[in-house]
Amino acid sequence: MTEGRVDVPDKAFAGLDFVIGSLHQGFSPDADGMTQRIIQALESGRVDILGHPTGRLLLQREPYGIHLNEVIEAAGELNVAVEINANPHRLDLDDIHARFAQENGVLLSINTDAHEISHLDFMQYGVYTARRGWIEPQSVINTWPVDRVKEWLAQRRA
């Protein structure tokens, strides 16, 4: 929500394995406000992965105002992973910020933003972005064995 509250009722979280939180409305060029809004959502403890962190749509919409390094650092402090969105219309997080995340101990997740089965093929673009950023597999949660992912999620919920 515009004030940083997660727009899902608390009772719904009990039935979810994990949560990817992304902004989908109320975009603003106000980098200070948008940064605080995102950090507040991460501080809720409800978001496991921050999705498409700049909100950009290539050739359609510029990124909203955000102090991305500050958001990435907050994600690290809160043990929230940051998405490398592999959809070719987004490619959001870029290689430079993915590298910044890894250098600061922040976990990453490569996701396709699939809206249909054929979109799963987009994964290669996220992998290319990660390779450009010299991202190592141990920094990417969806390269881990499922038991390690479950353990990480359990620690986040504790």
User: In this predicted structure, what is the pLDDT of residue 2?
Assistant: 56
From the list 86, 95, 88, 30, the residue with the least C-alpha distance to 63 is 30
Q: What are the contacts of 117-125 at 24+ separation with CB within 8 A?
A: 119/87, 122/86, 122/87, 122/88, 123/86, 124/86, 125/86, 125/87, 125/88, 125/91
Q: Provide the whole-model pTM.
A: 0.91
- Can you read off the two tokens belonging to residue 126? 């996220």
Hey, where are the domains in the chain? Answer: 10-157
Q: Cα separation of 138 and 135, whole Å?
A: 9
- Are 41 and 76 a contacting pair, CB within 8 Å? no
DSSP state of 57: B
- Phi, psi (5° rounding) for residue 50? -85, 115
pLDDT digits (tens), the chain, 158 positions = 556 556 677 787 888 889 898 876 666 678 898 899 899 989 988 899 999 998 888 888 888 889 999 999 999 999 999 999 999 999 999 999 999 999 999 999 999 999 999 999 999 999 999 999 999 999 999 999 999 999 999 998 88
Fold of 10-157: TIM Barrel (3.20.20)
Contact indicator for 106, 133 with CB cutoff of 8 Å: no
| Long-range contact pairs involving 126-131 (C-beta distance under 8 Å, separation at least 24) | 126/84, 126/85, 126/86, 127/86, 129/84, 129/86, 129/91, 129/93, 129/94, 129/95, 129/98, 130/84, 130/95, 130/98
For residue 105, list its beta bridge partners: none
